[in-house]
Amino acid sequence: MTANITPQPGIMQIDLYQSGKATVDGVSDVVKLSSNENPFGPSEAAQEAFARAAHELHRYPSTDHAELRQAIAEVHNLDAGRIICGAGSDEIIAFLCQAFAGVGDEVLFTEHGFSMYRISALAAGAIPVEAKERERVTDVDALLNACTDKTRLVFVANPNNPTGTMIGGNEIARLADGLPPKALLVLDGAYAEYVEGFDGGAGLVDSRDNVVMTRTFSKIYGLGGLRIGWGYGPKPLIDILNRVRGPFNLSQAQMAAAIAAVRDQEYVTKCRAENTRLRAWLAEALAELGVPSDTSTANFILARFASEEEAVACDAYLKSQGLIVRLVKGYKLPNCLRITVGDEASCRRVAHAVAGFKEAR
């Protein structure tokens, strides 16, 4: 790098994001269970809307996302004027750090929290700060104790990734009420739709002026390949975020698919029910093999092994059987594998393969 050309503070401290692997050398019949994708894909309505949008690819999309925001608002009973859309909820997270955190400020999150919190904080020049979890569960007291007068953003994924655990609304409210005056609580609800009757924190956003919620179409809606997310917060804060948002950050095809997806709640209900059924089956099957996991509220389980060596060995064995899961040493969980809840055939393959691994040892 030329001596006089250097990046902004924090950028060179960023480790590149590691996505879930999708292939295994020498293995053709591969099942990808490393990225928490919906094994059933997007709804037919979303696929058809995306196909129709192909006829308008020469047209610029709307800059205000009005139709998509209105669809989200109607389905979730929210104020469309307080919704912002982005290229995945990742982009909303980046907007928040860009708008509200800078050099010398602190961005707080839990020790096993989503890696984009740290990345986005460093990209904004801010200082990432971790608070301990309690047995892989968000610890509100630890977060409050970690706050300082420099804290500007507090990120909490609920349900959390990669642990799958979550905390109740009273604890989230206690956290919001206990934050320093200049701190903003961000509730990451990427997996909120997998929890029956859960609003992802929308009610708390409506009753507080220091809470923002983020959501995504990448998980239960099966649109991870299109990168569509959204946020909901107090109108003054959303107005600020829109000032740093690019005017054409979502294409017309993205928005068309998302509108159809969010309006197809029957499909969402079906996917949630199947995930709940298969998640319970897989967790029980692995527990019977001596591989426990915490009660998950998302579309994956965090399988715990006796040691890092055993987790790495099991990961390698699963790959040899065409099953790609996720090592999570980067999330400070070296003895764990995060396993997406796939369809029934995939779940049975995982259980059979882990049994084979255990027998071989």
C-alpha span between 28 and 182 (Å, rounded): 53
Q: For residue 75, which of 288, 258, 242, 320 has the smallest C-alpha distance?
A: 258
Which spans in 233-307 are helix H? 235-244, 252-263, 265-288
> Is the distance from CB of 126 to CB of 103 less than 8 angstroms?
yes
Q: For the residues of 53-72, what is the DSSP string, one character each?
A: HGGGTTSPPPSS-HHHHHHH
The helix/strand/coil state of 27 is: strand
- Which secondary structure element, helix H or strand E, spans residue 356, and what is its range? helix 344-360
E-strand ranges in the chain read 31-32, 83-86, 106-110, 127-131, 151-157, 184-188, 211-216, 229-232, 300-304, 323-324, 326-327, 336-340
Half-sphere exposure of 257 (CA within 13 A, CB side): 25
Q: What's the Cα-to-Cα distance from 160 to each of 132, 192, 270, rounded to whole Å?
A: 14, 10, 22
Q: 217 near 262, Cβ under 8 Å?
A: yes
Q: How do the pLDDT tens digits run along the chain, 361 residues long?
A: 556 887 888 888 888 777 777 777 777 789 999 999 999 999 999 999 999 999 999 999 999 999 999 999 999 999 999 999 999 999 999 999 999 999 999 999 999 999 999 999 999 999 999 999 999 999 999 999 999 999 999 999 999 999 999 999 999 999 999 999 999 999 999 999 999 999 999 999 999 999 999 999 999 999 999 999 999 999 999 999 999 999 999 999 999 999 999 999 999 999 999 999 999 999 999 999 999 999 999 999 999 999 999 999 999 999 999 999 999 999 999 999 999 999 999 999 999 999 999 999 7
Q: What is the spatial distance between Cα 216 and Cα 11, in angstroms, rounded to a whole number?
A: 26
CA 80 to each of CA 10, 58, 69, 247: distance values in angstroms, whole numbers, following the listed order? 35, 27, 5, 17
Q: What is the DSSP letter of 264?
A: -
